[in-house]
Homo-oligomer: A and B are copies of this chain.
């Protein structure tokens, strides 16, 4: 069982893994790691994983066989566990609760050596359908305050298994980054009767210089105050608070946007490591008939995707201040990506 522990000075919860706590030798090994020969996410290795919770298969294929396109399994070494209750308690002046939640892996393809930038839009649609299905299922559990879906590509971005996959973590506490985005969006809406992200998209479309792509369905732009070089935001042009409301046609448009964007990043930055994060409204916003934790309708939030290449290291300054130093102005990053002379593979 892991624990959620409150840091009273930084005002934040930390997930502390208590079983199989890693000792010094585990970190030595990690820094000297060689790639393993057998990958648990490949075809034929299904018995090595936990019990599948969702899959997309070519029609009329039984569950559990190797003939799958996308496959979702609980993480074998979860940061949070689905069983038990929170048991919130104090330890002297500290606060702690049990690490209850969900931690799943979305295996995006049976093909070990490809990455999402290689996928066809149809293959990306299958991954997005898996995201949607897992969100719709897990948001029924009232213990979960937030469900985050993210993808780490490359060792420098935190990927430990090279086989293409995303992860989902459901947490029993609204995370601080999410809480800030929600409250900012709510306050902005209350003051202006407009959505903050909608206003940002309008300004980006008008100023153009931070725009990478705009097909009327989805916009891709380098945020004005990007924390990292070549950071991108992907947002639906039409206001919506919930990714899971996307129909199959809209998923196709998003898949085309993702394919093109990842392909540009790879070409311009030579397959950079990156993190991709889906920022969606929290489950409490989405359960019908329940009052919102945030004291407002869900509809003031605008879901979006953050895509952050990991080209610079964060260090003491970032840890000590919470500020970032970005050595590439977003206007310049957007121009490189927008004007890239792409080999015709799309």
Point out residues on A near B: beta carbons under 8 Å. 5-18, 21-24, 26-28, 30-31, 79, 91-94, 146, 148, 150-152, 155-159, 167, 169, 171, 175-178, 180-181, 184-185, 188, 196-197, 199-200, 203, 207, 223-227, 229-230, 268-270, 272, 275-279, 306, 308, 311-317, 319-330, 332, 336
Identify which of B177, B225, B229 contacts A94 (C-beta below 8 A).
B225
B79 adjacent to A325 (CB under 8 Å):
yes
CA of A316 to CA of B5 in the docked complex: distance in angstroms?
A: 20
B11 adjacent to A180 (CB under 8 Å):
yes
B176 adjacent to A8 (CB under 8 Å):
no
Q: Specify which chain B residues have a CB less than 8 angstroms from the CB of A321 in the assembled complex.
A: 146, 148, 171, 175-178
A317 adjacent to B180 (CB under 8 Å):
no
Q: Which of A9, A18, A278 has the most CB of B within 10 A?
A: A9
Q: Specify which chain B residues have a CB less than 8 angstroms from the CB of A181 in the assembled complex.
A: 9-10
Copies of this chain, tallied across the complex: 2
Q: Specify which chain B residues have a CB less than 8 angstroms from the CB of A158 in the assembled complex.
A: 313-316
Q: Which of A279, A332, A336 has the most CB of B within 10 A?
A: A332
Give the residue name and chain of the B residue nearest to A15 (CB).
B325
CA of A156 to CA of B26 in the docked complex: distance in angstroms?
A: 17
Q: Specify which chain B residues have a CB less than 8 angstroms from the CB of A325 in the assembled complex.
A: 14-15, 17, 79
Q: Specify which chain B residues have a CB less than 8 angstroms from the CB of A21 in the assembled complex.
A: 327-329, 332
Min C-beta distance of A99 to chain B, whole Å: 10
A315 adjacent to B177 (CB under 8 Å):
no
Give the residue name and chain of the B residue nearest to A268 (CB).
B24
A316 adjacent to B177 (CB under 8 Å):
no
B319 adjacent to A277 (CB under 8 Å):
yes
Identify which of B16, B27, B31, B327 contacts A326 (C-beta below 8 A).
B16
Q: List the 8 closest pairs (A to B, CB-CB), nearest first.
A: A158-B315, A150-B316, A175-B321, A277-B320, A7-B225, A275-B316, A5-B225, A176-B322
Identify which of B93, B332, B336 contacts A199 (C-beta below 8 A).
B93
CA of A276 to CA of B13 in the docked complex: distance in angstroms?
A: 22
A306 adjacent to B326 (CB under 8 Å):
no
Give the residue name and chain of the B residue nearest to A27 (CB).
B311
B316 adjacent to A167 (CB under 8 Å):
yes
Q: Specify which chain B residues have a CB less than 8 angstroms from the CB of A5 in the assembled complex.
A: 224-225
CA of A29 to CA of B306 in the docked complex: distance in angstroms?
A: 25
Min C-beta distance of A170 to chain B, whole Å: 11
Given contacts A13-B225, A14-B225, contact A157 B315 (CB under 8 A): yes
B336 adjacent to A14 (CB under 8 Å):
no
Given contacts A157-B313, A177-B321, A275-B315, contact A93 B18 (CB under 8 A): no
